[in-house]
Amino acid sequence: MCDRATGTPLLVKALMDCYGIDDPAVRADVLDPVRADKEQQKPWWRKYSTVLTPTQYDGYLALEAGAVSLSSYQPMLVPGLLQTEGYARAVISRMRMDLTPQQVEALVKVRIERQHSRLGGDQPAKLWAILDEAVVRRAVGSEAVMRDQLDWLLTAGEQPNITVQLLPFSLGAYPGLYGPFVILTFTDPTPDLVWLENPRNSVYLETADDVDHYKEVYDHLRACALGPSETRTRIAQISKELRS
């Protein structure tokens, strides 16, 4: 008989039938751990499936969950993995006017749980986030929400697995202004891919040429941006301006 905590409930039932195990108590004793094990293996976002499915967001969450590093470029908003709860609520409620307040709150919870899942724990993913200066100057929510968000960017940038860089206004035009993207890196042999998000149909780019192009653009952005230390100084200055 196989280990009772492995396989699927259907397979285990078939094996017990094959071996003539009919006693209900024995069958329950074997099946209960299997069911519990399968339940624990479900992705954490499954409980939010009713609000995620219409947005096609669950596909990205599955990819993000398997990535070892994420290279994010955002010209407009703080990346979801670095958003505070208040900022996330303001963004989702204003950008997704089709959602009910309950659905907004569900997506806020997803965003916060994403952060704990991917950036915390024993094996956190590496996040490199490059932001246009417009991201930290655009008022999203109240002044208090923005102050908290800027403070969190400063705190998050000090964590060993997180790097934040800012592209200053003085840079002028640069590659990347066409829109945000994320490069997801996986362990071999899974190839890297690029995620392009839009309101209706987000796109995965998987060909080597496409991925290499975005990696080249990202390397250019990283070279043009303020260094992590300079970025913290600039964000701290902007945060101080909000308090004056």
Q: What is the pLDDT averaged over residues 214-236?
A: 97
Structure-block tokens of residue 165? 């860089």
Q: CB of 231 within 8 A of CB of 164?
A: yes
- The confidence band for 18, taking pLDDT boundaries of 50, 70 and 90, is confident
Q: CB of 211 within 8 A of CB of 192?
A: yes
Cβ neighbors of 162 (< 8 A, separation 6 or more) are: 82, 119, 126, 127, 128, 129, 156
The pLDDT tens digits of the residues spanning 20-30 come to 888 876 766 66
- The confidence band for 37, taking pLDDT boundaries of 50, 70 and 90, is very low
Q: What is the pLDDT of residue 28?
A: 65
Say which residue, 175 or 34, is predicted with more confidence: 175
Q: What is the pLDDT of residue 30?
A: 63
The pLDDT tens digits of the residues spanning 65-120 come to 889 999 999 999 999 999 999 999 999 999 888 889 998 998 899 889 989 989 98
Helices 143-156, 85-95: axis angle to 10 degrees equals: 120
Q: CB of 135 within 8 A of CB of 75?
A: yes
Count Cβ atoms below 10 Å from residue 71 Cβ, excluding itself.
24
d(CA 144, CA 147): 5
d(CA 197, CA 187): 23
Q: What is the pLDDT of residue 11?
A: 59
Express as a percent the part of the chain with pLDDT over 70. Answer: 79
Q: What is the pLDDT of residue 197?
A: 81
